[in-house]
């Protein structure tokens, strides 16, 4: 007879949650979305037992990080220019602002190229 898997009921600490959020924010939206979908499947109800708290915390953190990417994706969908999208990234992403303050102006541009899909001033499909 199959045994029910045992899950640790340990919840993440505030420091662990902060580190998880930081590490996820460095990934591309595509990667974060994949992790979100994977975690969502793990959080399905199985019988009478709810998902472990740690998994739910990871799911909520992934959801929050995905929402941080939304303004950038929206910029590309609206047909904003590459420069407008880059400016939006600097407004909404703490990491981009930090890197710009340190003189790394190419960071935001690189993120725009790989995250929202625009290349050299035109949204995907228009240039």
Count of beta carbons in the 10 Å neighbourhood of residue 8: 9
| Band of residue 2 on the pLDDT scale cut at 50, 70, 90 | low
**Full 3-state SS string of 110-126:** HHHHHHCCCECCECCCC
| Band of residue 28 on the pLDDT scale cut at 50, 70, 90 | confident
For the chain, the structural domain boundaries read 14-115
CA distance linking residue 62 with residue 41, whole number of Å: 13
Nearest to 69 by CA among 18, 31, 29: 29
**pLDDT of 8 higher than 60:** no
pLDDT of residue 127: 33
Taking the whole predicted model, whether its pTM rises above 0.85 is answered as: no
* Residues 58-87: tens digit of each pLDDT: 999 999 988 877 766 677 677 777 777 777
Any idea which of 7-16, 23-32, 49-58, 102-111 has the lowest mean pLDDT? 102-111
**Who's near 87: CB < 8 A, 6+ residues apart?**
none
Any idea which of 8-12, 62-66, 78-82, 121-125 has the lowest mean pLDDT? 121-125
Measured distance between the N- and C-terminal CA atoms of the chain, rounded to whole angstroms: 59
Nearest to 109 by CA among 2, 118, 38, 42: 118
């Amino acid at each position: 007879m199959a045994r029910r898997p045992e899950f640790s009921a340990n919840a993440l600490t505030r420091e662990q949650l902060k580190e998880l959020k930081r590490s996820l924010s460095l990934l591309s939206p595509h990667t974060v979305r994949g992790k979100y979908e994977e975690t969502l499947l793990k959080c399905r109800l199985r019988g009478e037992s709810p998902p472990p708290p740690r998994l739910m915390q990871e799911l909520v953190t992934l959801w929050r990080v995905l929402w941080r990417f939304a303004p950038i994706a929206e910029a590309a969908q609206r047909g904003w220019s590459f420069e407008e999208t880059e400016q939006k990234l600097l407004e909404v992403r703490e990491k981009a602002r930090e890197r710009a303050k340190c003189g790394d102006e190419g960071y935001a541009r690189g993120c725009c190229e790989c995250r929202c899909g625009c290349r050299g001033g035109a949204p995907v499909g228009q240039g």
